[in-house]
Structure 1
């Protein structure tokens, strides 16, 4: 479109399962637009498309596939673009340079910090970015006093908590140098490392019989559900196709999980004992949580008409949403799971406002959400409610941000 908004027209379209994302940037000579894009081919990915302004044709530039990326900035001489991105969901964002027109991608940083909001000087000799550093530890507290509690770990990265039926806490930690799975008692004693494969892991849940742990991982090269025995043995893939962000039923051996299908994210079901997966919710829905009685699913749901992301309540049999509620935060792939309260009448989720996280409750009967915790500082990264409904496990900590300057980085 012109600067005044006139003469607008469609320049380029991507067909499902590919799509464009916000953050397009004009090249210095005005002949090319670099635009973030996403798709699915053997796995979910994000990349950069280079579009010819004259005719809308996407230029034949090799794609580097990331898990996600932020906005794009062109180098002044048009020889490439910079962005911040991560290769896998568990990786921190690093600063990347993509040469144009060769498509060669390389990192300018390689550390455990998280880089965002990149900006270049007019001569492209220097850049600034925000650098975020987080610390997270596991806490356990009575659900009747959710703002108190006891800190069970005291290192750098500990999170993604899940309860076992017998009252132990599964969590992920980098104490061994990699993102591995651990287990401990509610007093912090009896810590035991369960995995040692060096691959990132997310969304743990424990089956109803307490014998298996389900999680998602890129262990095979693509995102899949995996399962291991409760003591860390017999690791095996649970899905052949894409699977992530699962929850284990409390009433049977069902595992409800997110996959990718025509139209976007969908929710499917598979047995923890191994069986052919079956579809459950044929709507744009993700990150499910099964109610204590096994009859309902709470999840993030993109509304059919408004396309806004809601908290959706569905029957375990699927179909249309029974109800949907506005959220206090943005949600998408990678967001923490929502959790059912023990009575099955409300759903809890994390909302961060003004840099402070708290857990909020949404009654499935309606009404505004109510604040469950009353933290005045810090972040809540993950939480789970014990099977007996008496305790709350959380991954809590801090996020600090600084502005960094890089000079003569090329």
Structure 2
């Protein structure tokens, strides 16, 4: 990952050791430890001698161990397609913990292995997040969902998986937790666990630090700032503060913050255009390693799914075009999301990439997941311009914004082929549900209730909905539901990456990118049978796609994350 660093300065207060904001100090020092752009999720050993990280190459992950002093690197775990995530050293440095996937288990498993490699020992199953080891190394804290993404609980168990107990659980519409790629952090004295939690105010949703008693589950907010979103939190080893990776506002990069504990006084450590993630500290608190990442995605048009005829439409070195939404209009234009203006907004261009125009601007919120109506008169989309997440509509030229829903969390709109119905996801209920209302307004009708359901995509004949389905028996899968609601009529064996599913023009099959191999698009016939590979790209991942109304062209968002490990010193 390339780029410069605009970095703040800090000093340590000798008497109290508490972080003192707004005081000039020697400049923070940064040193890149890897240079291949394939290094993710670093963990520094307690001694500060080694850094372990996931090496991602193609569709496989391995674990490498680097000697920080001399730069020598060895592979300690072999390449696997199931992945290695959330690496953490045991306090004595003898074992390395991580999460991975195993056959027959819906969600992740916490495992550990001797630090220089060996046979993994699998400890705890059905884990939905990263995890935290207690200071004495005897317990693990982690999140797990129970039948719904709206029912997520912070649990503590012994290292062998026994003695599992609940500390706190989410409350739909009131309290939720950052779990995907995130996790809890256990205080050095063992008395409290800090997590990134979500709340709601009049101005919209926010992320904050929540302190939970490790013994009694009593919770209270750490008095720090409210971020838009957060991904990581880690205690300083002396307990005087927390390092947080968070996004200050929508479309802003994920940056590094230092929060004094318990005062909550705050200072920003990084101030650049790069994204950071997966922070880890040495036992003496002097070394901090972190993932430094950029994702470059561009939009391509692919006639008839033929990768050899693919044409790139957008360009740039730091773009994420279309990642949050991409759609063909009935007249052959392409709607897409972009942050090129500094905020997440909706744009439109011709099918050859010319005449690019911004349709939403200056709304005070994010705008994403655009979808043109079948007659081409309107565009429906998800927006937080009024504070809460709702479905909005604009005319095809971007004028006349109108709010179509007014609840606490609706998204992913889809208009029926006849233009009569607006389908969407209600994320504010537990479990999350599919709903529909008449396009011209009316009372919302709940279509699903028993299982987590989201991301509706209506069939060409308007009779079926393909959607994202979760249940405790099968986990995440793509399923079919009658357009009038009820129970799923079919649950497929695949899980679409980022819920990207489209119907073929004849309604006889689904196109999707597989969550376990998002490098190509696959075709799944409704009449069973194995999936067939629809595109044949040799590199890069597919972040999102859409099929033109005549079924002859794909618009595809393709790209790769580029990530390296950075060492930060002199940051306190």
8 A contact 1:81–1:100 mirrored in 2? yes
Among 359, 377, 388, the alignment partner of 1:211 is 377
Q: Relative to structure 1, is the Cα distance of residues 152 and 6 closer, same or farther in structure 2, using a 3 angstrom cutoff? A: closer
Aligned length: 404
2:246 corresponding residue in structure 1: 85
Q: Please give the alpha-carbon distance, in whole angstroms, between the structure 1 residues aligned to 2:346 and 2:170.
A: 38
Q: Please give the alpha-carbon distance, in whole angstroms, between the structure 1 residues aligned to 2:298 and 2:552.
A: 20
8 A contact 1:164–1:206 mirrored in 2? yes
1:119 corresponding residue in structure 2: 280
1:161 corresponding residue in structure 2: 326
8 A contact 2:251–2:343 mirrored in 1? no
**Secondary structure of the equivalent of 1:219?**
strand
Q: Relative to structure 1, is the Cα distance of residues 163 and 268 closer, same or farther in structure 2, using a 3 angstrom cutoff? A: same
| CA-CA distance at 1:7 after TM superposition | 7.1
For the pair 1:320 / 2:472, whether they are aligned, the reply is no
2:388 corresponding residue in structure 1: 222
1:188 corresponding residue in structure 2: 353
1:35 corresponding residue in structure 2: 195
TM-score, with normalisation over the residues of structure 1? Answer: 0.88
1:99 corresponding residue in structure 2: 260
- 1:3-18 correspondence runs (5 A): 5=160, 8=163, 10-14=165-169, 16-17=171-172, 18=175
Kindly report the root-mean-square deviation, in angstroms, between the aligned alpha carbons of the 2 structures.
2.8
Q: Please give the alpha-carbon distance, in whole angstroms, between the structure 2 residues aligned to 1:275 and 1:106.
A: 48
2:560 corresponding residue in structure 1: 398
8 A contact 2:477–2:495 mirrored in 1? no
Q: Please give the alpha-carbon distance, in whole angstroms, between the structure 2 residues aligned to 1:135 and 1:6.
A: 40
2:512 corresponding residue in structure 1: 349
| CA-CA distance at 1:313 after TM superposition | 0.8
Structure 1 spans left out of the alignment, 5+ residues: none
Q: Please give the alpha-carbon distance, in whole angstroms, between the structure 1 residues aligned to 2:167 and 2:265.
A: 23
| CA-CA distance at 1:357 after TM superposition | 1.8
For the pair 1:339 / 2:506, whether they are aligned, the reply is no
CA displacement 1:57-113 (0-9 Å, x = unmatched): 224534765565434321012123223233566444332334333445654334432
**Secondary structure of the equivalent of 2:386?**
coil
Structure 2 spans left out of the alignment, 5+ residues: 1-137, 140-157
Q: Relative to structure 1, is the Cα distance of residues 69 and 178 closer, same or farther in structure 2, using a 3 angstrom cutoff? A: closer
Q: Please give the alpha-carbon distance, in whole angstroms, between the structure 1 residues aligned to 2:349 and 2:541.
A: 22
For the pair 1:290 / 2:458, whether they are aligned, the reply is yes
Between Structure 1 and Structure 2, whose CA radius of gyration is higher? Answer: 2
Q: Please give the alpha-carbon distance, in whole angstroms, between the structure 2 residues aligned to 1:281 and 1:62.
A: 39
- 1:293-308 correspondence runs (5 A): 293-303=461-471, 305-306=472-473, 308=475
1:141 corresponding residue in structure 2: 302
CA displacement 1:200-256 (0-9 Å, x = unmatched): 322110111111111112211221212111011111222111211222222224221
Q: Please give the alpha-carbon distance, in whole angstroms, between the structure 1 residues aligned to 2:192 and 2:478.
A: 39
8 A contact 1:251–1:292 mirrored in 2? no
Q: Please give the alpha-carbon distance, in whole angstroms, between the structure 1 residues aligned to 2:287 and 2:430.
A: 41
1:378 corresponding residue in structure 2: 540
TM-score, with normalisation over the residues of structure 2? Answer: 0.64
Q: Please give the alpha-carbon distance, in whole angstroms, between the structure 1 residues aligned to 2:265 and 2:529.
A: 52
Q: Please give the alpha-carbon distance, in whole angstroms, between the structure 2 residues aligned to 1:276 and 1:90.
A: 33
8 A contact 1:169–1:185 mirrored in 2? yes
Q: Please give the alpha-carbon distance, in whole angstroms, between the structure 1 residues aligned to 2:183 and 2:311.
A: 42
Q: Relative to structure 1, is the Cα distance of residues 291 and 74 closer, same or farther in structure 2, using a 3 angstrom cutoff? A: same
8 A contact 1:95–1:107 mirrored in 2? yes
Stretch moving more, 162-171 or 191-200:
191-200
Q: Please give the alpha-carbon distance, in whole angstroms, between the structure 2 residues aligned to 1:140 and 1:362.
A: 21
| CA-CA distance at 1:139 after TM superposition | 1.3
8 A contact 1:288–1:338 mirrored in 2? no
Q: Relative to structure 1, is the Cα distance of residues 80 and 367 closer, same or farther in structure 2, using a 3 angstrom cutoff? A: farther
Q: Relative to structure 1, is the Cα distance of residues 5 and 400 closer, same or farther in structure 2, using a 3 angstrom cutoff? A: closer
For the pair 1:369 / 2:534, whether they are aligned, the reply is no
8 A contact 2:211–2:220 mirrored in 1? yes
8 A contact 1:168–1:184 mirrored in 2? yes
Stretch moving more, 16-25 or 259-268:
16-25
